[in-house]
Structure 1
């Protein structure tokens, strides 16, 4: 049994991870800590576990094996390095940190202490992506030339008569989030496109503030890859009814994914399948448990995590400088 402490209810996925932990027979939620004590106490009461106001006390507790981190992103480095140095395994919401330098510092602490870190990049485990990656590796698309991925919602669109949309206002706090739609929701198209296309060499980006919330709420990024492929990454907090889309184009075929529908048009044959017929990979939390208990190799890698932040950094610089940014 892995005894965990939940660290902060700041992120919108905090409850999802708590639910996932409760449903996992190998995890026991023991404690809650939150930088907002009132919020943390309420969460602890809902879960029926104690609230601890001092983070150091939580991390120093020998009964705690691991932590689930859903703090503001600007606290990730401090919290996770401390957790690793106390020998705690770590599950965390993306992104790992604002800079590759901070990501590397977290990984250094994790590796030195021999603990397991899992960053939740869930779409890498979804059955449509599993199909796409296998189709590409099997040569059904030939040489990959273009990947387009869009993931968007209307969380920043205020319904009539309301001041804000369904995303909490703290998601527009630049100090805490490091960015807006691209940093948060855009992470998914970024890591999916990276995995398919490889190492990025240059980035051009436009980040819009449609609602003047202080962070971008609509963004498009063009990525050039060492493989010769181009990546088109789209995300938004101001798009109603926008489906998840992943498109792969190659010299011998194309693959279209929209929600759960998959269509392959290849010189090697055509295919239309439902995602329900394809076996997905274990979700990130389940992989984390397996790594801790059985020393398995997770499908979500350090490279996936670092390359995500590389694109975020380059995209921000590209937008600020109105220029194409090369990646060394």
Structure 2
């Protein structure tokens, strides 16, 4: 049995993660901590567990095996490093940290203290992505030249019930989040296209404040990969009724994904006509893989490379937008080497 403490209800996915823990017969929630005491006490009462107001007591408690972190991103590094040093396994919301350097500090602490760290990158487990990835690997689209991925919702748009949008106000606080739509929601296009496109060569970003928020609420980022393929990554908090979109174009064919619906047209299949392929089964969710890795030593499908490259592309995009120019990946590597 894995005994876990929930650390913060700040993120909109915090309740979802608590639900995963409650539904897993190998997991027991034993305590709650929150940087806002009132919110934490309410959550603990709803879950029927103890609220602990001091984070250091959570870390020192031998009855706690692991922690689930849904705090502001700005607190990730401190909380996760403390958990690693205390020997607690860690499950956390994306992104792991604001910089590659911070990510590496965390992974070094995780390795040194022999704990398991999982960052939730859920769409890597979806059948539509698994099919697209395998189709590319099997040459069904030939040499990939373009990948487009779009995620969008209306969280920043005013409505009668939510004059400032339904997203929490804190999601537009740069100090807490490190940015806006792209660093948070745009994480999905980033980690998906990173897997499909390979190593990044350079990035050009436009992080727009469409609704005049303090951070971007609408973003388009253009990535060129070392392969020559171009990625178009889109994230928006100001778009109603938009489906999730993943499109892959290559020299031998095209894959189109809209929400979970997939179709492909390839010179190597079905006489070159469009058709809907049979999709693989969904892989176990990140939380389930994390628990299995702790209790049974199982390998996880989300790797350190996925997590670090997610932060890296965010760093590149932020610098590109700030300086109004294309940023090459090797520029950032040179800066890191100087530090």
Normalised to the residue count of structure 1, the TM-score between the two structures is 0.98
1-structure distance, mates of 2:95, 2:162: 30
Name the SS for the 1:234 alignment partner: strand
The Cα shift of 1:273 comes to: 3.1
2-structure distance, mates of 1:106, 1:153: 31
Name the SS for the 1:41 alignment partner: helix
2-structure distance, mates of 1:33, 1:112: 25
Gaps of 5+ in 2: 331-339
Aligned counterpart, 1:90: 90
Aligned counterpart, 1:194: 194
1:1-328 to 2 correspondences below 5 Å:
1-160=1-160, 162-270=162-270, 272-273=275-276, 277-328=279-330
1-structure distance, mates of 2:57, 2:161: 45
Name the SS for the 1:163 alignment partner: coil
Aligned counterpart, 2:334: none
The Cα shift of 1:226 comes to: 1.1
The Cα shift of 1:159 comes to: 0.5
The Cα shift of 1:251 comes to: 0.8
Gaps of 5+ in 1: none
* Cα separation, partners in 2 of 1:51 and 1:235, compared to 1, 3 Å: same
| Larger mean Cα displacement after TM superposition, 225-234 or 40-49 | 225-234
The Cα shift of 1:160 comes to: 3.5
The Cα shift of 1:162 comes to: 4.1
2-structure distance, mates of 1:202, 1:129: 24
1-structure distance, mates of 2:291, 2:275: 34
Q: Is the 8 A contact 1:243 1:259 kept in 2?
A: yes
The Cα shift of 1:278 comes to: 2.9
2-structure distance, mates of 1:264, 1:163: 41
Q: Deviations over 1:79-106 (max 9, x none)?
A: 0000000000000000001111111111
2-structure distance, mates of 1:99, 1:215: 18
Q: Deviations over 1:244-267 (max 9, x none)?
A: 000011111110000121011000
Name the SS for the 1:12 alignment partner: coil
1-structure distance, mates of 2:162, 2:326: 39
Q: Deviations over 1:194-253 (max 9, x none)?
A: 000111010000000111220100000000111211110001000001100000111111
Name the SS for the 1:91 alignment partner: strand
Would you say how many aligned residue pairs link Structure 1 and Structure 2? 327
1-structure distance, mates of 2:235, 2:289: 27
Normalised to the residue count of structure 2, the TM-score between the two structures is 0.95
Q: Is the 8 A contact 1:260 1:274 kept in 2?
A: no
* Cα separation, partners in 2 of 1:162 and 1:18, compared to 1, 3 Å: closer
Q: Is the 8 A contact 1:64 1:88 kept in 2?
A: yes
2-structure distance, mates of 1:285, 1:191: 17
